[in-house]
Amino acid sequence: MEPLTEHRLVSGPVVYGFLRLVCVSRARQEALVASLAEYCRSHELQLSGLFTDRDAAGPASVAFTGLLDVLGLPDVYGVVTPAVSHLGPKAMAAERGRQIEAAGAQLLLVRRPRPTRSAVSRSVPGYHPHSGTTRVLKADS
């Protein structure tokens, strides 16, 4: 009898990790690397390499340039990073995100951005961030 697919060694989509580690402790670095590895394991992605940017200077770092180079390889699905902030400050992160997209890759975030208060208030009925009381909704309403 043939083994089930779940029991076969099948490689998932190829991704590369990217970390921006400026003045970060060794323990924090290890935790971030572990979070990327766990994310890839749980989402059946093949983490093929990790690029680490240790330079706070500008958008054209050696690590990011290397990342863009590997995104041009065949069968590369995307980039995984803990959060958008690992791409740099807002303007730099936006530009780097555009470059990743232009390379045809997906940007995968371990932590999704938090919704703003206005987004929460629009999506959660009865939520009023500045009121002193809490409105309780019945399950059948």
- Residues in the chain with pLDDT values less than 50: 120-141
**Residue 55: its pLDDT value, please?**
76
The reply to whether 125 falls in a domain is no
> Residues 6 or more apart from 2 whose CB is under 8 A from it?
none
The reply to whether 61 falls in a domain is yes
**Residue 68: its pLDDT value, please?**
96
* Structure letter (DSSP) for residue 82: S
The reply to whether 133 falls in a domain is no
User: What pTM, to 2 d.p., does this model score?
Assistant: 0.72
Could you read off the pLDDT of 28-45 as tens digits, one per residue?
999 999 999 999 999 999
Give the number of domains in the chain. Answer: 1
CATH number of the CATH domain containing 28: 3.40.50.1390
State which residues form the domain around 17. 11-109
